Structure 1
Amino acid sequence: MNKTVLRSGMLAGAAALALVTAAPASAHVGVDAPDAAKGGWSTLSFRVPTESDTASTTALTVTFPEGTDFEYVATRTKPGWTVSKVDGTSVTWTAEKGNGIAPGEFDVFDLRVGPLPTDVDTLELPATQTYSDGTSVAWDQPTPENGEEPDRPAPVVTLADASEDGHGAHGADAAEGDDEVAESEDSGGVDGWLVGGIAVLALAVGALATALVRRGPRS
C-alpha cells in the first residue's frame, strides 16, 4: 500500500513538473498553418499571449523572411485593431484606444498569404510584441539544430512538399470518381428499365397463353 502511494505521488510530482516546465513555452508568440505546402496558399494564425502581469499587448509586427515576396497578403478583419502593411516586408496590427490583450489573455491574428516558397522546408517569421508600458519583446531567435528552444523563439511554419499536400490531386480524383458513379448510375438505370420492361412483357405473354389454353378451342 505504501509503495502504491509513493509511486502515485512520484507520478503526480513528475506531471506537475512537466506542466511547470512547459508553461513558459506555451506563452511564446507562435504560428499555426496546418495547410502550408510549398508553392501553395495558407492562412497563418499567430497566437499572441500577454506575458506581462501589469501591461497589455498593444501591437504586433510580423516580418517576412528576406527574399520571400508573397504575391498576395491579406489580413482578417479584426475589430478594435488597425493594420498597416509594408509590401513584401511586414504587417503590423495596432490596438485602437481602449483595446489590447490584457494580462493573462491571448488573441489570434490571421494572415492569408501565397504562394509559399518552393525552395525551403521552413518559413521563419520573426514577430515583435509591444506592450502598453512602452516595452517590447522580439520573438526572433532561430531554433538551433539540436532542437533546444531559445528564450525568444521566432514563429516557424513547416512547409509540406507540394506532392504531399494533395489538394489538387484529391479534387481531380473526386471529380473523376463522381463522373464514374454518375455514368454507372445512368447505365444501370437504362439497363434496369430494359430488363424490367422485358420481364413485364414476358409475364403478360405467359398469362395470355395460359388463358387461351384454359379456354380451349371454340365450338
Structure 2
Amino acid sequence: MNVSRLAVAGGIALSSVALLSGTAFAHVSVQPQGEAAKGGYATVNVKVPNERDNASTVKVEINFPTDHPLASVMPQPVPGWKAEVTKAKLAKPLELHGKKINEAVSKVTWTADGSKIGPGQFQQFPLSLGQLPETTDRLVLKAIQTYDNNEVVRWIEEPKEGAAEPQNPAPVLKLSAASDDHHGGAATGDKAEEQTGEKAGDEAEGGSAGHGDKAGATGHTETASAGSSDNVARVLGVVGILIGIAGVAFGVLAGRRRSA
C-alpha cells in the first residue's frame, strides 16, 4: 500500500516537473543565424511555439527598442502569413552610411493569411536587421502572441541577469563583439569565390589546351603510323608480284627442259 502511494506521488511529481519545464521553455524567442555582431548586420529567426491545446496562433507582434533603434528591419516572406512593418519618428536622428535617418522600425506584425500555428507546432519568422547598435550587449524584443480564441499572451517581461526567469520573458537578442567587417565577411567570401572561379577557369582552359595538344600529337602519331603501314604494305605487294612472276618464268623454263 505504501509502495503504491509512493509510486503515485512520484508520478505526480514528475508530471508537474515536466509540465513546468515545458511551460518555462515554450515561449517566443529570437535566434540569430550565424553571428549578430555590434555595428553589423544579422539575420535572425523569431521562433513562436503554440502553448495551447485547444487554440491556434493567428498573430505575432515583435516590438523593437526605442533606446537602441534599428534603421533597417526587413521580414522574409513566410507562406500563409502577411507581414507589416511599422515605423516611428526618432527624437534623435540616426546616421547610417553618411545619411541621417529620421525614423526607425518600431514593430513587425505577422497576421495569419491562410495558415496558423496549431497545437504542438511552432513557426519561425526570419528578419534581416541592421545596423545593430554598438553601445549595448543585447536587444530586448517584446512580443505579443494572439490566439484564434482571442486570448493574448504578452511576452514583455525583461529578464534580469542573476534572477529567475520571469513567467512571460521577452525575447532577447545577444550581440557579440564588433568585427572589422560589419557585413559579416561577405566581401571576403565574394573575393574567395571569385578567386576560386578564376582558378577553376584557368585550370579548365589549361586542361582543355593540354588535352587538345595531346590529342593533336596523338593524331599526328596515328597518321604517321598509318602512312608507314601503307608503305610497307605496298612494298610487300610489289615483292609478292615479282616473286610470282619469277615463279611462273621458272616453271615455264623447267617445262621446256623436260620436253627437250
Instruction: Identify whether the pair has TM-score above 0.5, normalized to the shorter chain.
Output: yes
- The TM-score with structure 1 as length reference comes to 0.66
Percent of pairs identical after alignment?
A: 39
Q: Distance in 2 between matches of 1:95 and 1:73?
A: 20
Residue equivalent to 2:169: 153
Counterpart selection for 2:179 from 163, 168, 173: 163
- The TM-score with structure 2 as length reference comes to 0.56
**TM-superposition CA deviations, 1:2-40 (whole Å, max 9, x none):** xxxxxxxxxxxx998875553222211111014111011
Q: Distance in 2 between matches of 1:147 and 1:57?
A: 29
Alignment of 1:19-98 (within 5 A): 20-33=19-32, 34-87=34-87, 88-96=105-113, 98=114
Per the TM alignment, residue 76 of structure 1 is displaced from its structure 2 partner at its CA by 0.8
**TM-superposition CA deviations, 1:190-210 (whole Å, max 9, x none):** xxxxxxxxxxxxxxxxxxxxx
CA contact (8 A) 2:63 2:108 kept: yes
Per the TM alignment, residue 41 of structure 1 is displaced from its structure 2 partner at its CA by 0.6
Alignment of 1:190-201 (within 5 A): none
Per the TM alignment, residue 169 of structure 1 is displaced from its structure 2 partner at its CA by 10
Task: Let me know the Cα RMSD of the aligned residues.
Answer: 3.1
Residue equivalent to 1:112: 128
Q: Distance in 2 between matches of 1:16 and 1:39?
A: 45
Q: Which runs of 5+ in 2 are unaligned?
A: 1-12, 88-104, 200-260
CA contact (8 A) 1:37 1:165 kept: no
**TM-superposition CA deviations, 1:143-163 (whole Å, max 9, x none):** 122241100000001100113
The one-letter amino acid of 1:148's match is A
Residue equivalent to 1:101: 117
Q: Distance in 1 between matches of 2:175 and 2:186?
A: 18
Q: Distance in 2 between matches of 1:141 and 1:64?
A: 14
The change in CA–CA distance for 1:15 and 1:155 in structure 2 (over 3 A counts) is same
The change in CA–CA distance for 1:54 and 1:21 in structure 2 (over 3 A counts) is closer
**TM-superposition CA deviations, 1:47-75 (whole Å, max 9, x none):** 11111111100000000011333222111
The one-letter amino acid of 2:26's match is A
The change in CA–CA distance for 1:20 and 1:133 in structure 2 (over 3 A counts) is closer
Deviates most, 163-172 or 135-144: 163-172
Q: Distance in 2 between matches of 1:165 and 1:69?
A: 21
CA contact (8 A) 1:62 1:90 kept: yes
The one-letter amino acid of 1:22's match is S
CA contact (8 A) 2:77 2:83 kept: no
The change in CA–CA distance for 1:101 and 1:118 in structure 2 (over 3 A counts) is same
Q: Which runs of 5+ in 1 are unaligned?
A: 1-13, 183-219
Per the TM alignment, residue 164 of structure 1 is displaced from its structure 2 partner at its CA by 8.5
Aligned residues: 165
The change in CA–CA distance for 1:123 and 1:164 in structure 2 (over 3 A counts) is farther
The one-letter amino acid of 1:146's match is G
Per the TM alignment, residue 171 of structure 1 is displaced from its structure 2 partner at its CA by 3.1
